[in-house]
A = this chain, B = another copy of it.
């Protein structure tokens, strides 16, 4: 039986992800953060491509993610950011997983096996307190920056100083502070290892400045129906859009269940070729309408794909229209979207 042709496709360029990783790995040793299914792109193919390119260390958020990832990268180090619980020790050791220990309780449970130590230097999130004594000789000492996308924020320098103090208590142990944005704060933030995630996937780690990363994703959705409507026709739920003249509308097979946030209603755009198509009305669960009047009639047919993320609008552009960040756009891409991979999958 033929599977139905996908109505919504995310094309993931593995070569671009590898190129982004290589650019960062030229600065210092670079792990790859593939939590949340590699930010929605697919942890297994992404990690396989990076491992093949030489990446030896991967970070995930949860043990369940680590268990899944182990099949994809048999030999790599897999570090679990949420730490370890008593009941999971067997799984950790059997799959050679490394917890990132965040508390004395976790350190006691883990009892001296190989681990990373995470210190909280300003997030108030996970980790040992900065001045907390820890009786453990870890493989890595870590912390996480709160404001690295805002280089002028004074907390960056304060966290750097606190982290330098902490790492001095662990002579000879490797250290890691920077994730995607922190990598671009300057050489003193790099330490031994950096932990890029979003930057690998093409999200701009330096908001407000040119994106140093290559775009890695393209999102397209199919036109299910084209129609002409008269002036003064209402469009979508709540009748929030009123046409200002005879208008051609395209109804597209992607909605908020696919990650097109409702905040894009009457604000978002798609592209068809070089045409910029305004999203009109509210986004519905499975469908979204665009004003395609500007495109010549014959150029657009039902079944054609329009571009939601791609060469004309980046993931950050779509995020800006939705009032959020590229990270949340990527992790919200829904399960109905088919993932296609380009490059050395």
A positions within 8 Å CB-CB of B: 1-7, 35-37, 39-40, 61-65, 67, 81-83, 85, 87-88, 90-91, 94, 102-103, 105, 120, 122-127, 129, 146-147, 150, 153, 155, 224-225, 227, 229, 233-239, 249, 251, 253, 256-257, 259, 261-263, 281, 284-287, 289, 302-303, 323-325, 327-328, 331-332, 334-336
Q: Is the CB of B87 within 8 A of A5?
A: yes
A302 contacts which chain B residues (CB < 8 A)?
103, 105
**In the complex this chain forms, how many copies of it are found?**
2
A36 contacts which chain B residues (CB < 8 A)?
257, 285-286, 334, 336
Which residue from chain B places its CB closest to the CB of A247 in the assembled complex? B124
Min CB distance A48 to B, Å, is 19
CA distance A327 to B146 in the complex (A): 32
Q: Is the CB of B90 within 8 A of A2?
A: yes
Q: Which 4 A-B pairs have the closest CB atoms?
A: A36-B257, A257-B331, A4-B63, A61-B286
Which residue from chain B places its CB closest to the CB of A92 in the assembled complex? B4
CA distance A289 to B287 in the complex (A): 34
Q: Is the CB of B87 within 8 A of A256?
A: no
Can you sample 22 A-B contacts with CB below 8 Å? A3-B67, A4-B85, A5-B85, A36-B285, A36-B334, A61-B286, A65-B336, A105-B302, A122-B234, A124-B236, A124-B249, A124-B281, A126-B224, A126-B287, A127-B225, A146-B237, A146-B238, A146-B239, A153-B239, A256-B331, A257-B331, A285-B328
Q: Is the CB of A251 within 8 A of B125?
A: yes
Min CB distance A91 to B, Å, is 6
Q: Is the interface of A mostly helix, strand, loop or mixed?
A: loop
Q: Is the CB of B238 within 8 A of A124?
A: no
Min CB distance A118 to B, Å, is 10
Q: Is the CB of B331 within 8 A of A82?
A: no
A261 contacts which chain B residues (CB < 8 A)?
328
A1 contacts which chain B residues (CB < 8 A)?
67, 90-91, 94
A102 contacts which chain B residues (CB < 8 A)?
224-225
A155 contacts which chain B residues (CB < 8 A)?
234, 239
Min CB distance A101 to B, Å, is 11
Min CB distance A322 to B, Å, is 10
CA distance A67 to B40 in the complex (A): 24
Min CB distance A122 to B, Å, is 6
Q: Is the CB of A286 within 8 A of B35?
A: yes
Q: Is the CB of B303 within 8 A of A253?
A: no
Considering residues A6, A35, A37, A61, which has the most beta carbons from chain B within 10 angstroms of its beta carbon? A61
CA distance A208 to B251 in the complex (A): 30
Considering residues A6, A126, A147, A263, which has the most beta carbons from chain B within 10 angstroms of its beta carbon? A126
Q: Is the CB of A225 within 8 A of B37?
A: no
Q: Is the CB of B236 within 8 A of A123?
A: yes
Q: Is the CB of B286 within 8 A of A124?
A: no
Min CB distance A185 to B, Å, is 15
Which residue from chain B places its CB closest to the CB of A64 in the assembled complex? B4
Q: Is the CB of B281 within 8 A of A35?
A: no
